[in-house]
Structure 1
Amino acid sequence: MRLDTVRRLATPEGCVIDLRLAGPVVRARAWLIDFLIRFAVWLLLVILAVRLGDFGAGLLLLGAFVLEWFYPVVFEVWFRGQTPGKRACGLAVVHDDGRPVGSNAAFIRNTLRAVDFLPLLYATGFVCSLLNADGKRLGDLAAGTLVVYVESGRRPAVVSSVDVGSEPPLFALSREEQLVLIEFSQRAPLLTPERAAELAAAAGPLLGGVDGSAAELRLRRIGNFLLGRPTA
């Protein structure tokens, strides 16, 4: 069973890309930001509608319709899969194969928000996201889309697996255990420090009593040793 949310895809060109799937909590935070933005615009429309009489009432209804149904579609199609809320949370909507989301997929996933919202506060969408490995709500399943983390342009400073040195394991390891440690040593720099430390804690006796970032570094050094790299 996978212990992280990275989905590895192979493109037709022979490239391998990693997509880090977003969970329900960060997606809810992005939705809340977008809701507050829409609510602020709606309040401005109410103030304007009061001054315009009957014409203002029609304008208010039209504005509410556009905000509810076209706000997410326009942003996802024209702004690289990111509404303002998703951008603030470092998220984006993409197709299952990593391609930028298109107009048809954006329209389908956002139209089905009405179903995901049932019976209250996206309860159906939340339950659905817990029942599939990619964290998809019904709209994502129908549209073939994923919500993933995107690079912010400022990457945290990490030390590559080559630079941390190497050391032998405390005891003999099976082939499967060796493969797991090698993969962890290669992927740890791509994880958040908290997630890397959480995964490292699963190694138990192999850590020799250390924890946190020290445990992560020890596993990466063991992975380097298994790859035949010289000791520090």
Structure 2
Amino acid sequence: MSATITDEQEILSGEAVAIDVQPVGFVLRAAGALIDMALGIVLFIAVTWVQVWLMSEGLLTEHTFRILMICAAVLSFLVLPITVEVATRGRSLGKLAVGGRIVRIDGGAITFRHTFIRALVGVLEVYMTFGGAAVITGALTARSQRLGDLVAGTYSQRVRTPALPAHQPYLPPSLAGWASIADVARMPDRLARRISQFLAHAQRLSPAARAGVAQELAAEARSFVSPVPAVSAEELLLGITVLRREREKTALTNADDRAERLSGRRIRL
């Protein structure tokens, strides 16, 4: 499935559906990078210590020690990050800690090519400049991309987001009596979806806009309700939504029970 970038916070999928994306912020990304840097440095120090011990025991010559030091640097600062990101599909220890994942600009999974470019450029901008180049580019780009991301066409996407509380409409007390006698017909899917979206986001609207949208939706929904209660437009929408939800839930439960009874009869036969 192809995707098109529409702006800095949105990706348009092949079905023309806007997908909201959240890049990892500059501070969190810097914290994750420090963890990854520390891991590479610790590995380099550990390998170097082993080589120094071998040299002190006379098991390594000076020329061999220099060659192995270069190999240790390549292993710690190039091979390690490439291996980890390829194996975890964009999630290193630091990114796991801050809830991020390296993805392509279009939101797809990275490949070895992307990881290799990021790691190769990272040696220059992260280790050789002590992170200075990465800090500058990360602070100046909208998605906190470092130079390696800009070259490879990647960024760090947030994959750990706080769970939003589920919106559960409630039946207003003024409609308790009406609910026992009301007849609410099935509404068009588009209208039902608009009502549900309005109730979920009504508190974010200004009072004037909230009242206007409620009046418009209530005018469309009144033809599916009998009798129409003498309440405000928003209360009417709440009553319709709750009543339809409860009755559809009851209908599904009854259908499941009926299917289970029929299935039991067939088994006995």
TM-score by length of 2: 0.55
State the distance in 1 between where 2:210 and 2:83 align.
Answer: 47
What does residue 35 of structure 1 align with? 37
Q: How does 1:40-59 map to 2 (within 5 A)?
A: 40-53=42-55, 54=60, 57=65, 58-59=67-68
Shift of residue 90 of structure 1?
0.6
Q: Sort the Cα spacing of 1:128 and 1:227 in 2 relative to 1 into closer, same or farther, 3 A.
A: farther
Q: For 1:140, give the aligned amino acid.
A: D
Question: Which deviates further from its counterpart, 6-15 or 113-122?
Answer: 113-122
TM superposition outliers: structure 1 runs of 4+ over 6 Å: none
Q: For 1:125, give the aligned amino acid.
A: A
8 Å CA contact 1:6, 1:20 repeated in 2: no
How many residues are aligned here?
179
Which consecutive residues of structure 1, in runs of 5 or more, have no partner in the other structure?
166-181, 187-216
The structure with the larger Rg is 2
Secondary structure of the equivalent of 2:9? Answer: strand
Q: Give the helix-richer structure, 1 or 2.
A: 2
Which consecutive residues of structure 2, in runs of 5 or more, have no partner in the other structure?
1-6, 172-196, 218-233, 239-269
State the distance in 2 between where 1:70 and 1:164 align.
Answer: 57
* Percent pairwise identity: 22
What does residue 159 of structure 2 align with? 150
Secondary structure of the equivalent of 1:32? Answer: helix
8 Å CA contact 2:90, 2:110 repeated in 1: yes
Matched, 1:99 2:108: yes
State the distance in 2 between where 1:85 and 1:6 align.
Answer: 23
TM-score by length of 1: 0.62
Q: Select the residue among 19, 22, 34 that pairs with 1:20.
A: 22
What does residue 139 of structure 2 align with? 130
Q: For 1:81, give the aligned amino acid.
A: G
Deviations 1:134-192, CA, capped at 9 Å, x for gaps: 3222221111111111137xx535233x6499xxxxxxxxxxxxxxxx99x75xxxxxx
What does residue 85 of structure 2 align with? 76
Q: For 1:34, give the aligned amino acid.
A: D
Q: For 1:77, give the aligned amino acid.
A: V
Secondary structure of the equivalent of 2:102? Answer: strand
Secondary structure of the equivalent of 2:90? Answer: coil
Alignment RMSD (CA, Å): 3.6
Q: Sort the Cα spacing of 1:41 and 1:146 in 2 relative to 1 into closer, same or farther, 3 A.
A: same
Secondary structure of the equivalent of 1:151? Answer: coil
